[in-house]
Chains A and B, each alone.
Chain A
Amino acid sequence: MRFGLSPEQTLFRDSVGRYLRDHSALDRVRRFADRDEKRATDLVAGLVELGVPALLVPEAHGGIGLTALDACVVAEALGYRVAPVAFAANAAMAPTALLLAGSEAQKRDWLPSIADGGMIVGAALSELCGARLGAGVAASGGRLRGKALFVLDFEADAYLVADMDGGLHLARADAPGLSRARLETVDRTRPIGELGFDNVAAEPLPGASMDVCRQVLDIGRTMLAADTLGAAQCMIDRAVVYAGQREQFGRVIGSFQAVKHMCAEMAAHLEPTRASVWYAGHAIAEGSDEAHLVACHLKALLGEVGRFVAKTATEVHGGMGFTDLVGLHYWYKRIGFNRQMLGSPERLRIEAARAQGLAA
């Protein structure tokens, strides 16, 4: 038995982490957020070079054929640096949907361009996690009608779209009849938006079903959870460093027990979720029956723990934590984003109960 990352996974994590440290520092994130950049093309290119969008794409289709666990490791690294790049939809949900439900021709057409960064694919599945008034997509005769809200990785060239019956479709961003509107949120590191479909031609994935949608959501949720793990870890690390430097009453604040205990509580709550992220990644990779339950619980738990860490780490920084100067709020908001998207903790706990037959 070996429960943990392989040496290759650790190396991969470290190389993505190093790249992001050098290229996605806070000033780069800020530039993206302040100027409403659509895509951070420099970062996208750098991550393509490292193989990030190619992760889950099989070698036969120009990818590197790794697993959901490897994707978790990358998501964690992206969260740690609040990197303003597409990932959960583009590199995890879209390839997963294509591999589970796409025809051979669709895999040939789409996967290589996801892998080489030639195309970014967003995901419009939010209606499966709670449809709002008016939203929802209906498919008939290869045409889509309706509206999809809160589309992930919105600045994309194409979209993976779920209809209300468990069908999945790929629609190009420039397809006639497709209208797009960006939706501003508190998290400015990851654009989301709304899609309108007025008789839009789209490619249905022939193998799609509610079960496939669920699996696509499982991996998307697991990626958002791993992103929170990374972001929360960064906030703890920064709080500990700050507490070791800032002095009040003639001593570093990190020597005050109240401050130490805030840090210890953050670490104690976050640390077990690391093992759970690995477990979820592994369960998805193995196609285990547990994957759905674990993904629901994991994202719910990291939603709660993430919120606690985001608040507490900010408090450790005092007034400075509340300012734009230290930029901690980018992490705070990223964690908040991950909590709400693709199902909030309350909703996911009901799904977890359903998965065990404990709720109707």
Chain B
Amino acid sequence: MDLNDGPEYAAFREEIRAFLVSREADAPAVRGPNDGKARAWQRLLIERGYAARTIPRQYGGGGREPDILKSRILAEEFARAQVSPGLGGQGISMLVPTLLDVGTEAQRMQFIPPTLSGEMVWCQGYSEPGAGSDLASLRTSAVLDGDHWVINGQKIWTSTAHVADWMFCLVRTEPDAPKHRGISFLLFRMDTPGIEVRPLIDMTMRRNFNEVFFTDVRVPKDQIVGKRGEGWKVANVILKNERDSLGDPNQTLTRLNMLIDIMKSETIDGRRLIDDPLWLDRLMRIQGRVMAMRHNDLRVLSSKLNEGQDSSLARMIVKLQGTELRHELEALAIDAMGEVGLAYGANPYVRDNGGWQYWHMYYLGLIIGGGTSQIQKNIVAERGLGMPREPRAGEA
């Protein structure tokens, strides 16, 4: 056991802290809009190797050597300072790694630089009304007609489709093949004729996702990633990346510290919330679990740095435990504040700008999205514990 990072990393941490202090004024709001300020900040971060750190320079990235510890220090320091760590979104977090893995050189040159800079915003078109947990049963079809794919069908729950310039999308191209082998991974512009985006308001009352309809949408034949019929494999590269990023204990820790602050400052009947043993006990329960998830995270990180350390089960449980824990954490703030905890929107007593209610609901969304908790349990039981697999349609 050695938890020291060594002098090189201590210096790196100092460098980041100094940067965050000196450039504070240039930072846009965390999770704010993709505007001029956000893009300028993104450029600066990439230039300094703080965002898109390991992506090669010719694709518009920072071009630094992969160094898991430095990436970790960056994440920790930006979270601690509550400063925007640059642009996010499904293009940067999911499509870019996929193209680096399986895209052609021309695709990388065309798509990665504008995606990283924030000029090209993406949405992920996977789920359909009939294909959620059982994603591989998707039915949106693409048929080759000359030099174009012609797409017909419907996607749903498509986050950011209303602001996206492009979609990466799973479509069925081989209707006669077994379901996992009949899917292809296509890229296309959202202003292509025949695409209609209809908003879906979610329970937070925001428009986080949409329905997307396709009627004879023509997409150039070469806008396919991987080969025909290999879309399922391509998608799985990123589904793993997505799950790794949901339930991150470092973000949960930031919220926990905010929760402690609020329990120290809010009073009911003249007594601070934290001085009520019932709330204190619930707070400590959550803190103990957050602590364990952070230790678990260190273990997973370490297994990436050191050969021969197995942490597959430790990694498999993060999405399940992390999203449920965060949902409970947000609930505690609401409960402890009583009626004030209800405040949302235009209410003079609202706290954290409605954030406690918002994140409580949003994390219910994340318990469902990206593979539901039940699906995660299937994965833990089958792949983690080696229990019998679920019967799959068409396999019986």
Q: Interface on A for B, CB 8 Å cutoff? A: 1-6, 69, 236, 240, 243-244, 252, 254-255, 257, 260-261, 263-265, 267-269, 271-276, 278-279, 281-282, 285, 294, 297-298, 300-301, 304, 346, 349-350, 352-353, 358-359
A2-B313 contact, Cβ under 8 Å, with A275-B299, A349-B281:
no
| Chain A residues, Cβ within 8 Å of B381 | 260-261, 263-264, 267
B78 smallest CB distance to A (angstroms): 19
B380 touches A272 (CB 8 A): no
Which 5 residue pairs spanning A and B have beta carbons closest together?
A349-B284, A3-B302, A275-B295, A260-B381, A297-B288
Chain A's interface: helix, strand, loop or mixed, by majority?
helix
A282 touches B377 (CB 8 A): no
B314 touches A272 (CB 8 A): yes
Across the two chains, which residue of chain B brings its CB closest to A275? B295
In the bound assembly, the distance between CA atoms of A243 and B386 in angstroms comes to 11
Across the two chains, which residue of chain A brings its CB closest to B301? A3
B60 smallest CB distance to A (angstroms): 30
**Residue from the set B2, B3, B284, B382 with the largest chain A CB neighbour count within 10 Å:** B284
B267 smallest CB distance to A (angstroms): 15
| Chain B residues, Cβ within 8 Å of A278 | 1, 295, 299
A272-B377 contact, Cβ under 8 Å, with A244-B387, A260-B382, A358-B274:
no
| Chain B residues, Cβ within 8 Å of A1 | 2-5, 69, 301-302, 305
A41 smallest CB distance to B (angstroms): 34
Contact of A272 among B5, B293, B309 (CB under 8 A): B293
Across the two chains, which residue of chain A brings its CB closest to B5? A1
* Chain B, range 1-42, C-beta contacts under 8 Å to A: 1-5
Not counting A261-B378, A349-B285, a sample of 7 additional A-B residue pairs whose C-beta atoms are within 8 angstroms of each other reads A3-B299, A264-B378, A267-B380, A275-B292, A298-B288, A301-B289, A353-B283
Kindly state whether residue B121 has any CB partner on chain A within 8 Å. Answer: no
A3-B1 contact, Cβ under 8 Å, with A260-B378, A276-B295:
yes
A352 touches B288 (CB 8 A): yes
5 contacts between A and B (CB under 8 A): A3-B301, A244-B388, A271-B314, A298-B288, A300-B284
A3 smallest CB distance to B (angstroms): 4
| Chain A residues, Cβ within 8 Å of B292 | 272-273, 275-276, 297-298, 301
Kindly state whether residue B205 has any CB partner on chain A within 8 Å. Answer: no
Chain B's interface: helix, strand, loop or mixed, by majority?
helix
| Chain A residues, Cβ within 8 Å of B274 | 358-359
A265-B295 contact, Cβ under 8 Å, with A349-B281, A358-B280:
no
B382 touches A6 (CB 8 A): no
In the bound assembly, the distance between CA atoms of A260 and B387 in angstroms comes to 7
A353 touches B284 (CB 8 A): yes
A240-B321 contact, Cβ under 8 Å, with A300-B288, A353-B280:
no
A226 smallest CB distance to B (angstroms): 14
Kindly state whether residue B287 has any CB partner on chain A within 8 Å. Answer: yes
Contact of A243 among B264, B288, B296, B387 (CB under 8 A): B387
| Chain B residues, Cβ within 8 Å of A349 | 280-281, 284-285, 288
| Chain A residues, Cβ within 8 Å of B100 | none
A240 touches B385 (CB 8 A): yes
A267 touches B295 (CB 8 A): no
A279 touches B284 (CB 8 A): no
| Chain B residues, Cβ within 8 Å of A353 | 280, 283-284
In the bound assembly, the distance between CA atoms of A69 and B3 in angstroms comes to 13
| Chain B residues, Cβ within 8 Å of A265 | 377
Across the two chains, which residue of chain A brings its CB closest to B315? A271
In the bound assembly, the distance between CA atoms of A206 and B275 in angstroms comes to 37
Question: Please, what's the 1-or-0 string for B348-365, where 1 marks a CB less than 8 Å from any CB in chain A?
Answer: 000000000000000000
